[in-house]
Structure 1
Amino acid sequence: MLMTPVRLFCAGLIALGAVMLAAGALARQSESAAATVHLVSLQGAIGPARAGHVVRVIERAAGEADAVIIEMDTPGGLVDAMRDINNAILASPVPVIVHVAPTGARATSAGAYILYAAHVAAMAPGTTVGAATPVTMGGAPGSPPQTPDEGDEGGEAGDNGNVLEDAARERTAPASPQAPGNDEAMRNKMVNDSVAYIRALAELRGRNGDWAERAVREGVSLTYSEAVEQNAADFVAASTTELLTVASGRTVMLGDGSEVTLALEGASVERVEMSLPTQILTVITDPNIAFLVLNLGFIGLLVSFYNGLEPVTFVAGLICIIVGLYALNTLPLNYAGAALIVLGLGLLIAEVFVASYGLLALGGVVAFAIGALMLVDTDVEGLRIDWPLVLVMSAVMGISVLLAGSYGLAAQARRIVTGREGLTGAIGTVLSWANGAGHVQVEGERWQAVSSDDLQPGDGVKVVSVDGLTLKVKSSGRS
């Protein structure tokens, strides 16, 4: 039976609907099959806040992503923060790719250790890696002083003043005629521990352990192309898209011993930003901000004391001091610098109560400035207090204390104008007088008065003293 035009039209609509349903199903299947990658940025000095953010991204990716990309550009960071990141990478159930990017970025000091811990290590053109020598700063008791051979630039601190800094040091030094002291022994322990740690990472990931040891002992660095040639990095990738394409097909071993073949080409990339609390923590742990907050807290307490423990400024100052101390506690403090700051603040406070004509204030400002410059003894960008801020805050503290002291001295020297004591020196007029006593009018009031002068009604008098309700006066015409 021939189909009528109506039947043909209906059949066509049914066929078109079937095709559309099939296409939608294929699209959904393709979308579900595409990999998802979480990208987290690690830029600047590595501290607790940034490390915590990276660790949380890696842990969260376990059930949400097929891989994690750490886009890194760092001069180094705290040792504990670096190890927290590495521990998260080593235990991660999904592959972690470290990409030193963008162009011009660096993986210096702690960054080199993180690059070696990654399942896949890539570098963008124009990037560098290396300079991972551990150095102990002179802040902790018994710690060795930094020498020129131990590096003057780059680095970062860990607990007890340990830092990872850019440094240059000969791998093999001539034997000393004397046994090494405690300082040298401590440094040798740190260097050897760092060498063992980065060699273990190199062995785990199949990378160049010999160069990694040189990066620790000698502070050497490599360009992006040299890093690939010497097997310190896996390949060069100029962009995230290229990174995923080149990484696809590689097989990596996860922390549980299982092997995964990466299939990331065309993957959906989701950049994970810091939460607001983490951003706030990142700001306050900046040493310059921490130093500023600490000083604002001290000024707040001073203002509160001068206003009879006024509660608002007292609580605000106390909060600022606690926040500042917390932030500074995450940094490699030099204890001598901290002691000088405490001494300087003590001298500034003493200036208010002791008439030293500014000598205590001057000594306090000098001690405060020197201590602030010594407080965080590292050249790592983002982990040091800028000297202009130190000078400004020292000047502000000194001027504030001097102004407060001057105000207090002026208040003590100012004549009392209220109460009985305020009548001393006041001028009045005799109302009646007989036999050395009588009544006078002072400041609009009638008072009993006595005097050794011969006075007459209408004479002017000056109050010498007050005895109860009786004024002792003298003629205002006499000195």
Structure 2
Amino acid sequence: SLLMFLRRAVKTAESNGASAIVFEMDTYGGRLDSAAEIVNVLNHLTIPTYTFINSNAGSAGSLIALATQHIYMAPVSAIGAATPILSTGEDLPATVKEKTISYWSAMLRSTAAKNGHNPDIAEAFINKDKEVKIGGRVVHGKGAVLTLNAQEAIEKIDGKPLLADGVAESTADLVKKAGIKGEIVSIEPSGFEQLALWITALAPLLLLIGVIGAYLEFKIPGVSWPGITSAICFALFFLGHYLAGLAGWEVVALFVVGMVLVLIEVLFFAHSTIVFGVVGVFLMLASLLWTMIDRYPGQNFFPSGKMLAVPLLNMFIAIVGSFIVIALLARYLPRTSIYRRFALIDSNPPGPSLAGVPRQFVTALALAPGTHGTAVTVLRPSGKARFADHVVDVVTDGEFIAPETAVTVIRSDGMRVVVKSAGLGSV
């Protein structure tokens, strides 16, 4: 959840042209891999970065602080002691510990060097065998990991602070001492970051349910719950990625435009062109994919392969899963009692009494190829047609058919009845 919050804060600051961003820190540490993910977010920043250590920057917190260009510390505060341990608090096994310290020492050194800090100081935070010598003076000897308090961190050696730029009483005091211009705007955790974490993790499932719900809404006219379920899933998908700082509302607008184009294709142009439908589907897929891309202001418009890896995997899972489920539904759903319960039924015949009149599900009619009927509504390409005394939901292969036109059944697969104008030749 912290990662989600920081991602949102960083993108907000960049997008609004902030003159600098200040992170207030008070932590005894945490998982090093989580800290590395946060460092990766901070590395995308193009504006000056500051850390205000308000008491503690222990363990993984020191790695995050080193990922900013400037460090200020409260009068009573400390940074360092980043020795990796097990989640139980016990030391790592000797072999694992050696490998872990070697890797994270390199990570700390590179992070410090990138942001103008002393790499030796950074390594000494995690490696007790690291001696720190500056200008012939041994600042820290071997035998223990390095921890600095505020006074030690700001000590100048050869005209340069050991680590921190200065001591500050508060974030506002830091802004004043650092000479940062502009209005101070605070960004606080919204409380929805944990929700965003779960939603982004469940993105393939939400897309899968959304697509299946939309399919069922079209296949079982008159039943609203599949469409409502689909809308909720897509809304959660976009909301979660917005809260996670991955997308803005422009992708929602793109998705809506695509959906409108698809509806225009189905309702008005199915008999003459597929342009609206193709463009609409493309916009919808593009908006879903773009929503999942972790893109920062100032980056190239076209995402890299690394940025596309997870979004494409999620899309692949959702699309393949949708095809499989829809194929199974098309084959087996018409035979189930659930489908018959919700499928459209014939209107009851007129008469003084309706008691005892059996209800017949029109979708259960056996309409063999060659059966003749009459279009009741405009077929573009879907609509209704009458066969004997029954009105059935039908669809054409793209042909536009006016009401009261004779039609012939081409095929029936249980879920839908495909017809053509009776005046056309065989298809």
Quick check: which has more Rg, 1 or 2?
A: 1
Query: Structure with the greater relative contact order (CA < 8 A, sep ≥ 6): 1 or 2?
Result: 1
Please report the TM-score for the alignment, with normalisation by the length of structure 2.
0.39
Please report the TM-score for the alignment, with normalisation by the length of structure 1.
0.36
